[in-house]
């Protein structure tokens, strides 16, 4: 299958040269379908859904946007999420304030894909207290967090048309979720901790077998020559997410990869064992990337998640263990501390 994917990719490159960008996008689709077909045969028993897949959260039907008084704003918000770079990237048509990635690179299908890091429970849970900033955060603040940390960009004004559009769209995505509820399928699926530390050497092997074909040897992805965005977004290097981003916690990256990568994988299917997901996440996050000033993060360090990779910590576990695990001893020590 790998050689088939490779030849499709060569085809994609050729098509790109002749500016048949559309072909490239459909090729990504075809690759995805092939991969998920292969996947269903090989791996379905190992990944039985915990609940019936039809009881999983699904986004509202986009046809329902028309009935909304804010329809135009919501549709603009959807475009800003799926094609961020076109509007706000290095050659953005509205402003040049982000690194060329799209929100959708990490919030798949514009934040509507079950366990694809979607926005299901943003409207239902915000504003809320977040330990990273130690404050009650609005959706505006949370969106700007991702703009600054994941897109290595500049925050946008909450009154701007763009911020209003992004938040109107995110609220539309979560409009059917009751206040305070987090439906099954929301966000990223949590994976069980391994009993060992994630292994960057094994992770590199997984990367070479299952990710490199699209994200490239140096992890810098592949640009889309016709636009400012990427066909395959960068996983590390100067154009990728910063060290202050959520993806820097390997639990986030492992959970995202397990049910979404290689591209076209859909929950409950997976092409990665849990070990492979943790290991590849550790390899990716051991690579260089832009820094971000996190000096005022976590004013209460006791609230840091166990896999937050930067000290100071409330416990005596070394920074490397907070980055790669094993996490169980840290989680247990945290529980004991809470009880005391
Ligand atoms: C490099 C990947 C990446 C990119 C690009 C990215 N995000 Fe995020 N985003 C994340 C991760 C990881 C989380 C945290 C998920 C978690 O905690 O489980 C997150 C969380 C969020 C949340 C809160 C979700 C929740 O349920 O609490 C919002 C809202 C959000 N992002 C909006 C955006 C917007 C808008 C953009 C584009 C301007 C964007 N993100 C770009 C990775 C990314
Ligand atoms: C068939 C091509 C393909 C393969 C193989 C692939 N990816 Fe991706 N990946 C993509 C595409 C395309 C996106 C962006 C999705 C979008 O914008 O809708 C993406 C996005 C991502 C992102 C979030 C965006 C970013 O740049 O940080 C991560 C993390 C990621 N992939 C990890 C992996 C890992 C880990 C593997 C291997 C297990 C892998 N991918 C294999 C195509 C691929």
Cβ–ligand 2 distance for 268 under 6 Å, the answer no
pLDDT score at 322: 98
Higher pLDDT, 81 or 55: 81
Confidence of residue 9 (pLDDT cuts 50, 70, 90): low
Domain boundary among 140, 173, 206: 173
Cβ–ligand 1 distance for 16 under 6 Å, the answer no
Cis before 312? omega within 30: yes
Cβ–ligand 1 distance for 106 under 6 Å, the answer yes
The ligand 2 atom at the shortest distance from the C-alpha of residue 253 is 29
Tokens (6 digits) for 229: 């965005």
- Residue 39 sits in the same domain as residue 64: no
| pLDDT greater than 60 at residue 13 | no
Among 98, 117, 160, the mutation site with the greatest number of ligand 1 atoms within 8 A of its Cβ is: 117
- Residue 241 sits in the same domain as residue 325: yes
Confidence of residue 43 (pLDDT cuts 50, 70, 90): very low
The ligand 1 atom at the shortest distance from the C-alpha of residue 247 is 12
- Residue 31 sits in the same domain as residue 70: no
| pLDDT greater than 50 at residue 30 | no
- Residue 216 sits in the same domain as residue 149: no
How many beta carbons lie within 10 A of that of residue 210, not counting itself? 20
Cβ–ligand 2 distance for 143 under 6 Å, the answer no
| pLDDT greater than 50 at residue 47 | no
| Residue 121 forms part of a structural domain | yes
| pLDDT greater than 70 at residue 264 | yes
- Residue 302 sits in the same domain as residue 327: yes
Per cent of the chain over pLDDT 90 is 81
Higher pLDDT, 97 or 40: 97
| Residue 50 forms part of a structural domain | no
Ligand that comes closest to the CA of residue 35: 2
The ligand 2 atom at the shortest distance from the C-alpha of residue 221 is 26
Cβ–ligand 1 distance for 250 under 6 Å, the answer no
**Distance from Cα 42 to the centre of ligand 1, integer Å:** 31
Confidence of residue 53 (pLDDT cuts 50, 70, 90): low
Higher pLDDT, 44 or 252: 252
Among 146, 183, 230, the mutation site with the greatest number of ligand 1 atoms within 8 A of its Cβ is: 146
Structural domain for 100, as ranges: 60-173
What does the pLDDT look like over 73-82, one tens digit per residue?
999 999 999 9
The domain total for the chain is: 2
Ligand that comes closest to the CA of residue 254: 2
The CATH number given to whatever domain includes residue 300 is: 1.10.760.10
| Residue 52 forms part of a structural domain | no
What does the pLDDT look like over 304-339, one tens digit per residue?
999 999 999 999 999 999 999 999 999 999 999 888
For the chain, give the mean pLDDT: 89
Q: Whose CA is nearest to atom 2 of ligand 1?
A: 106
- Residue 89 sits in the same domain as residue 2: no
pLDDT score at 211: 98
Domain boundary among 125, 145, 173: 173
- Residue 38 sits in the same domain as residue 92: no
The ligand 2 atom at the shortest distance from the C-alpha of residue 105 is 17
Least confident of 116-125, 224-233, 288-297, 308-317: 224-233
**Distance from Cα 211 to the centre of ligand 2, integer Å:** 7
250-260 and 274-285 are packed helices; what angle lies between their axes, rounded to 10 degrees? 130
Confidence of residue 165 (pLDDT cuts 50, 70, 90): very high
Which residue pairs, CB below 8 angstroms and at least 24 apart, start in 30-38? Answer: 31/5, 31/263, 31/264, 32/263, 32/264, 33/264, 34/1, 34/4, 34/5, 34/264, 35/1, 35/5, 35/262, 35/263, 35/264, 35/265, 35/271, 36/264, 36/265, 36/266, 36/269, 38/1
Q: What is the mean pLDDT of residues 129-145?
A: 97
The ligand 2 atom at the shortest distance from the C-alpha of residue 210 is 37
- Residue 133 sits in the same domain as residue 223: no
| pLDDT greater than 70 at residue 271 | yes
What does the pLDDT look like over 188-236, one tens digit per residue?
999 999 999 999 999 999 999 999 999 999 999 999 987 778 999 999 9
């Amino acid at each position: 299958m790998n050689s088939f994917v490779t030849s499709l990719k060569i085809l994609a490159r050729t098509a790109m040269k002749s500016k048949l960008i559309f072909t490239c996008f459909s090729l990504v689709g075809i690759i995805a379908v092939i991969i998920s077909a292969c996947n269903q045969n090989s791996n379905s028993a190992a990944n039985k859904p915990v609940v019936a897949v039809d009881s999983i959260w699904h986004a509202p039907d986009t046809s329902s946007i028309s009935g909304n008084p804010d329809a135009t704003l919501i549709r603009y918000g959807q475009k800003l999420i799926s094609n961020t770079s076109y509007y706000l990237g290095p050659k953005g048509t509205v402003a040049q304030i982000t690194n060329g990635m799209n929100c959708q690179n990490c919030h798949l299908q514009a934040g509507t894909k079950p366990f694809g890091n979607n926005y299901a429970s943003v409207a239902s849970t915000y504003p809320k207290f977040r330990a990273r900033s130690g404050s009650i955060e609005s959706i505006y603040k949370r969106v700007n967090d991702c703009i600054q940390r994941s897109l290595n960009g500049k925050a946008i004004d909450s009154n701007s048309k763009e911020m209003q559009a992004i938040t109107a769209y995110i609220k539309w995505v979560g409009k059917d979720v009751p206040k305070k509820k987090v439906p099954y399928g929301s966000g990223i699926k949590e994976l069980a901790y391994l009993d060992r530390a994630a292994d960057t050497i094994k992770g590199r092997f997984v990367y070479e077998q299952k990710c490199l074909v699209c994200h490239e040897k140096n992890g810098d992805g592949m640009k889309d020559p016709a636009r400012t965005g990427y066909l395959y977004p960068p996983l590390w290097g100067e154009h990728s997410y910063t060290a202050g981003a959520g993806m820097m916690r390997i639990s986030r990256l492992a959970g995202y990869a397990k049910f979404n990568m290689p591209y076209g994988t859909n929950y409950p299917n997976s092409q990665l064992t849990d070990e492979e997901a943790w290991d590849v996440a550790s390899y990716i996050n051991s690579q260089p990337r832009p820094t971000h000033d996190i000096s005022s993060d976590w004013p209460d360090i006791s609230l840091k998640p166990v896999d937050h990779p930067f000290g100071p910590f409330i416990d005596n576990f070394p920074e490397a263990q907070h980055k790669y695990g094993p996490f169980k001893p840290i989680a247990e020590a945290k529980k004991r501390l809470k009880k005391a």
